[in-house]
C-alpha cells in the first residue's frame, strides 16, 4: 500500500489514454472523499514527566508509522506504530526531533532543532549528518520532504548574537549539503515539491508586521520570493500536484505561477491541506474541529479541542497529531 502524506499526500495519477482510434478519452473523474471514519484518540507517554510536543509523522503503511517530537524526557520523543500498538524508541544520543520523512520502510529521515539529521535504516536510528555554516552556532531544522536520492530540509541557522538566516539542505543519495543562498532573515518552516520539479518553501519574517508570511520557490538552485501575505502559506501535495492555501483560497502551483482552484468559507476554514485529492482533503476548521472537503462542501468531522500539528494519510486510514497542553494521536479508519 502506498502512503499519502499530510502537509503532503500522494494519490494514483489520473491517466489520459489513447484508444486504438487515437481518440483522447476524458480524464477519470476523481471521487468525492468519504467521511465515514471510525475514530480513536490516545496519548503516547512512557512517563508523565514534563512537556511533550509531537510535530512530525510519516509512515510507509498503516502498520509502519513513526511519530516524533521534542519532550522533557528522551523516552517520549520517538514512537512507532506496528498496526496494533505504539512503542517508544530510545535514541542512543541526545536529540531534539521535529520532523520526519521517509522514502521506504528502510530509509527514514528525521531532522532536529539541534543541528542534526538522523537516519533509520530499517533496524536502527543513527545520527547521520551535522554541518553548521561558518560563523553560526547551530541549525534549527523545521521540515524535511523528498524522494529517493532527492530530499530537502529547511530551517534557520543561528548565531550566538541572535542573528539568523533561513537555510536549505539537500540530499542527493550520497551526501547532505547546505545550499548556498543569500542571507535571508526569515524562518523557513515547510517544504514540498514534486520529484524533479520546483521546490516550494513557506516561511515567516519577524521583521514585517503587516505581511509576515512568505512563499519562496527554489528553481535550478536559485531561490526567489513568490509571495507575501498576512496569512500563513500552507503547502500540500494532492494527487501528485502541489497546492498552496493562504487565507480562504487554495491555489495550484503550475509552471511558476499560482492558479486559484478553490475559495472556502472564511467562517469555517482555518487552514491546511492534508489529503488525497482536491475532492478529499482534511484541514483545520474554526472552533477546534478537524474539517474535511469532499469537492462539494466543507464539514466538521471531529471535535479535536486542540491544534492540528501534522497528519499523514493512507488509502483507508488517517493519523493526526493534536496538541493542547500535551500531544495526542487521532487515528481514523474508513468502514
In a domain, 269, yes or no: yes
> 286: which 3 cell numbers?
474554526
What average pLDDT score do residues 177-190 get? 96
Neighbours of 230 (CB within 10 A): 12
Beta bridge partners of 284: 271, 290
CA distance 166 to 152: 13
* Opening angle at CA 166, ends 160 and 169, nearest 5: 105
pLDDT of residue 23: 45
In a domain, 229, yes or no: yes
In a domain, 17, yes or no: no
CA distance 128 to 58: 19
What average pLDDT score do residues 194-223 get? 97
What dihedral do alpha carbons 309, 312, 317, 319 form, nearest 10°? -30
In a domain, 152, yes or no: yes
Beta bridge partners of 59: 65
> 165: which 3 cell numbers?
538566516
The CATH number that applies at residue 209 is 2.130.10.10
pLDDT tens for each residue of 107-162: 999 999 999 999 999 999 999 999 999 999 999 999 999 999 999 999 999 999 99
> 6: which 3 cell numbers?
499530510
Total count of domains within the chain: 1
What average pLDDT score do residues 307-325 get? 97
pLDDT tens for each residue of 243-293: 999 999 999 999 999 999 999 999 999 999 999 999 999 999 999 999 999
> What domain range is 121 assigned to?
4-11+27-334
pLDDT of residue 26: 53
pLDDT tens for each residue of 224-255: 999 999 999 999 999 999 999 999 999 999 99
Neighbours of 153 (CB within 10 A): 27
> 277: which 3 cell numbers?
485529492
CA distance 50 to 75: 12
Phi, psi of 266 (to 5 degrees): -65, -25
In a domain, 272, yes or no: yes
In a domain, 69, yes or no: yes
Ordered DSSP codes for 88-108: E---SS---EEEEEEEETTEE
In a domain, 16, yes or no: no
* Opening angle at CA 237, ends 285 and 257, nearest 5: 100
In a domain, 19, yes or no: no
CA distance 286 to 305: 10
Residue 28 pLDDT greater than 90, yes or no: no
CA 102, 106, 107, 113 torsion-angle sign:
positive
Residue 9 pLDDT greater than 70, yes or no: no
| pLDDT-derived band at 29, boundaries 50, 70, 90 | confident
The alpha carbon of residue 121 and the mean position of all alpha carbons in its chain are separated, in whole angstroms, by 21
Beta bridge partners of 300: 291
The closest of 104, 226, 202, 101 to 154, measured between CA atoms, is 202
CA distance 46 to 298: 37
Phi, psi of 205 (to 5 degrees): -105, 130
Sheet with 125-130: strands ordered across: 97-104, 107-112, 116-120, 125-130
pLDDT of residue 22: 40
Residues in contact with 40: Cβ distance below 8 Å, sequence separation at least 6, in sequence order: 330, 331
> 309: which 3 cell numbers?
500539528
Residue 3 pLDDT greater than 60, yes or no: no
Neighbours of 94 (CB within 10 A): 11
Amino acid at each position: 500500500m502506498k502512503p499519502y502524506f499530510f502537509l503532503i499526500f500522494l494519490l494514483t495519477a489520473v491517466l489520459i489514454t489513447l484508444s486504438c482510434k487515437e481518440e483522447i478519452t476524458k480524464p477519470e473523474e476523481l471521487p468525492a472523499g468519504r467521511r465515514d471514519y471510525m475514530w480513536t484518540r490516545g496519548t503516547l507517554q512512557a512517563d508523565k514527566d514534563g512537556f511533550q510536543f509531537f510535530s512530525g509523522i510519516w509512515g510507509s503503511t498503516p502498520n509502519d508509522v513513526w511519530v516524533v517530537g521534542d519532550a522533557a524526557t528522551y523516552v517520549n520523543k520517538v514512537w512507532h506504530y506496528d498496526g496494533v500498538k505504539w512503542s517508544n524508541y530510545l535514541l542512543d544520543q541526545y536529540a531534539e526531533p521535529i520532523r520526519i520523512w521517509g522514502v521506504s520502510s528502510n530509509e527514514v529521515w528525521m531532522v532536529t532543532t539541534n543541528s542534526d539529521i538522523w537516519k533509520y535504516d530499517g533496524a536502527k536510528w543513527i545520527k547521520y549528518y551535522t554541518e553548521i555554516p561558518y560563523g553560526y552556532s547551530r541549525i534549527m531544522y523545521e521540515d524535511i520532504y523528498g524522494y529517493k536520492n532527492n530530499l530537502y530540509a529547511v530551517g534557520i541557522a543561528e548565531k550566538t548574537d541572535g542573528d539568523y538566516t533561513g537555510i536549505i539542505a539537500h540530499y542527493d543519495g550520497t551526501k547532505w549539503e547546505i545550499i548556498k543562498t543569500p542571507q535571508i532573515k526569515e524562518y523557513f518552516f515547510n517544504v514540498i515539491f514534486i520529484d524533479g520539479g520546483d521546490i516550494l518553501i513557506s516561511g515567516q519574517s519577524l521583521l514585517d508586521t503587516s505581511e509576515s508570511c512568505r512563499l519562496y520557490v527554489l528553481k535550478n538552485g536559485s531561490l526567489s520570493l513568490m509571495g507575501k501575505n498576512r496569512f500563513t502559506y500552507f503547502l500540500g501535495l494532492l494527487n501528485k500536484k502541489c497546492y498552496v492555501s493562504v487565507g480562504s483560497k487554495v491555489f495550484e502551483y503550475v509552471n511558476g505561477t499560482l492558479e486559484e482552484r478553490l475559495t472556502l468559507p472564511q467562517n469555517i476554514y482555518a487552514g491546511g491541506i492534508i489529503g488525497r485529492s482536491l475532492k478529499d482533503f482534511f484541514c483545520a476548521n474554526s472552533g477546534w474541529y478537524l474539517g474535511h472537503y469532499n469537492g462539494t462542501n466543507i464539514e466538521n468531522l471531529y471535535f479535536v479541542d486542540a491544534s492540528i500539528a501534522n497528519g499523514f494519510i493512507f488509502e483507508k486510514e488517517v493519523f493526526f497529531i493534536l496538541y493542547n497542553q500535551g500531544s495526542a494521536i487521532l487515528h481514523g479508519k474508513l468502514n
